[in-house]
Amino acid sequence: MNCREVEPLLGAYLDGELDLLHSLEIEAHLSECAPCSRALEELRQLRLAVSGARQYRASKQLRARLVRPAGGNARWLAIAASLLLAAVAVWRLAPANDGTGRRMETAIVENHVRSLLADHLLDVHSADRRTIQPWFSGKLDYAPEVEDISSHGFVLLGGRLDYLDGRPVAALVYQRAQHVVNVFVWPSPGDPDHTAQVHSVEGYQVVGWRAKGMNWWAVSDLDAAGLEELPLCPCFMPPHPALEARALRSLIRPVSD
């Protein structure tokens, strides 16, 4: 793709509205084009500025002028304005970026697939968590907890920087047999914890939870049972009810007469 083709798509790319193929093509172009990269950053800064701007309630006089009958089309204009306000309200209330919405799950899967297809799975390649955690220092405003869970069948490959929920995030990369597991983590201060919830999205298993002020998301093409075998470490994943029950049954032995 060239600059003329990329420029009108930057807004949709930033909002995650493009399909995977076009996203990969734009990313390839951005890696080689400084002007388009600057344009994307300007759009990102504009979005941040708009989202952080103060909001004002329209005065009674202005609202009256908007709905005042002024001709044959006034009634339809008023209806259209009402529908627009309703749509904005629904959009603002939709859980698109709170870690539980379908939109976030789809974004998680797209980033997982992109990391595999675009040959950008790892920025730092190491099986030593003491190497990976400091690597993120200075690149992010937080340091993710990194677990060595190779004894449970999940081999630590390394980590990389990614972009989710409107901000840079840490991606920890594990492998189980031939299956790659991406684990995304970023702060969520003040939000309540919630237990793991597993969903299937486009053939991938996605599990999200919140613990200790952090959002956690794991995604893989492992089946649900395989992904649920992630270790029940409090700093990594809260106890999963199904696994708790399985562990409890393993501790109970029949008593013979």
Enumerate the domain spans of the chain.
3-51, 60-93, 102-248
Mean pLDDT, rounded, for 36-46: 84
Q: At what angle do helices 60-67 and 74-93 cross, to 10 degrees?
A: 130
Q: How much is the pLDDT for 126?
A: 92
Determine the longest span between alpha carbons in the chain, in angstroms: 92
Per-residue pLDDT tens over the stretch 114-128 = 888 877 899 999 999
pLDDT at 109: 92
pLDDT tens-digit readout, 192-235: 887 777 888 888 999 888 888 888 899 999 887 787 777 645 45
Confidence of residue 242 (pLDDT cuts 50, 70, 90): very low
Query: Which amino acid belongs to residue 124?
Result: V
Residue-wise pLDDT for 2-34, tens only, equals 888 888 888 888 877 777 677 778 888 888 888
The torsion angle over the Cα atoms of residues 184, 189, 191 and 192, rounded to 10 degrees, is: 90
CB 97 within 8 A of CB 104: yes
Say yes or no to pLDDT of 81 above 60: no
CATH 3.30.200.100 fits 102-248, yes or no: yes
Q: Per-residue pLDDT averaged across 170-198, rounded?
A: 88
- Work out the number of other CB atoms within 10 angstroms of the CB of residue 52: 7
Identify which of 184, 188, 187 has the alpha carbon closest to the alpha carbon of residue 173.
184
Q: How far apart are CA 209 and CA 255, in angstroms?
A: 38
Give the DSSP H or E segment for 232: none
- pLDDT confidence of 84, banded at 50, 70, 90? low
In which band, very low, low, confident or very high, does the pLDDT at 253 lie, cut at 50, 70 and 90?
very low
Helix, strand, coil content of the chain in percent (nearest 5): 45, 20, 35
Residue bearing tokens 């597993």: 198
What SS3 class is residue 249?
Answer: helix
CB 40 within 8 A of CB 14: yes
Q: pTM to 2 decimals?
A: 0.58
CA dist 82 to 61, 63, 76, 244, Å?
17, 11, 10, 50
The torsion angle over the Cα atoms of residues 73, 79, 83 and 86, rounded to 10 degrees, is 140
Buried b (16+ CB within 10 A) or exposed e, 152-175: eebebbbbbebebbeeebbbbbbb
Pairwise CA distance, residues 85 & 138, whole Å: 42
